């Protein structure tokens, strides 16, 4: 039997699908390393256990799949009926037995991958609406899922680091976060600059007089910007008007 392949023809979307599926595999590996008892432990997200993270990632795959089905059929299928319903779903999922949580993640990831695979090439520009109300081409769902699986693999707090996330994902994450801050007018007096590696010198914001400049390797800067703090010994520094600041400023809220 001949294996079925993605119908999409756009090279950028194909590359994005590969990165999303690699992120799913990475999350699955970090999840498989946890015992059932480990699932009750806290995640990196305040107020959420590892169970909450797993439930969120599983239900997110179902929600994203609904958008892909919307593009395929033309029948509107919102990600969630309401923000309250989304939160209730995650809270319920966190109470599931461990094997059910594992199955939720596995089955929802497979379902989403199949929906992507079978979406006809001429449907990838169909418009769908995100949970935030934005109208986007359905191709945007690939990035939406990529962000979830790579970031939340770290949130499991099981040894995954931001440095494990591909550089192209980190760059886009940083751009998304900074863009959200700009829309809310929260970048005044703040700048970030990447030091070291291929992205050395990448700067967001203006390190003008009176501004606080956060600097460090790409992974460390993104971790800070995403609200996950810093890893022990992370070479991340902050200066204000050129003078060293002993404590990093708290990053503005992302989403």
How large is the average pLDDT for residues 155-172? 96
- Mean pLDDT, the chain, rounded, equals 93
- For 37-71, the pLDDT digits (tens) are 999 999 999 999 999 999 999 999 999 999 999 99
How large is the average pLDDT for residues 135-156? 98
Stated pTM of the model: 0.93
Structure-model confidence comparison of residues 3 and 100, the more confident one: 100
Residue spans of the domains in the chain: they are 11-160, 177-245
The verdict on domain 11-160 having CATH code 1.20.120.450 is: yes
User: What's the confidence (pLDDT) of residue 3?
Assistant: 58
DSSP notation for 94-150 = TTS-HHHHHHHHHHHHHHHHHHHHHS-GGGTT-EEE-TTS-EEETTHHHHHHHHHHH
């Amino acid at each position: 039997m001949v294996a079925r392949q993605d119908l999409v023809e756009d090279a950028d979307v194909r590359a994005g699908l590969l990165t999303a599926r690699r992120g799913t595999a990475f999350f699955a590996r970090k999840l498989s390393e946890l015992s059932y008892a480990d699932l009750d432990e806290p995640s990196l997200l305040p107020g959420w256990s590892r169970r909450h993270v797993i439930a969120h990632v599983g239900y997110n795959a179902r929600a994203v799949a609904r958008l892909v089905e919307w593009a395929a059929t033309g029948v509107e299928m919102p990600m969630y009926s309401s923000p309250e319903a989304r939160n209730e779903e995650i809270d319920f999922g966190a109470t599931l037995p461990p094997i059910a949580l594992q199955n939720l993640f596995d089955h929802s990831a497979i379902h989403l991958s199949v929906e992507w695979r079978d979406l006809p090439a001429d449907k990838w520009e169909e418009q769908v609406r995100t949970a935030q109300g934005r109208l986007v081409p359905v191709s945007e769902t690939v990035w939406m899922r990529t962000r979830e699986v790579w970031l939340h693999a770290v949130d499991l707090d099981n040894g995954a680091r931001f440095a494990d996330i591909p550089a192209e994902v980190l760059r886009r994450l940083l751009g998304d976060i900074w863009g959200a801050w700009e829309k809310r007018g929260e970048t005044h007096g703040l700048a970030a600059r990447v030091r070291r590696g291929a992205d050395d010198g990448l700067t967001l914001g203006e390190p003008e007089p009176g501004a606080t400049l956060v600097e460090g390797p790409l992974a460390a800067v993104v971790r800070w910007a995403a609200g996950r703090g810093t890893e022990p010994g992370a070479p991340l520094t902050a200066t204000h008007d050129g003078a060293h600041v002993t404590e990093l400023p708290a990053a503005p809220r992302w989403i």
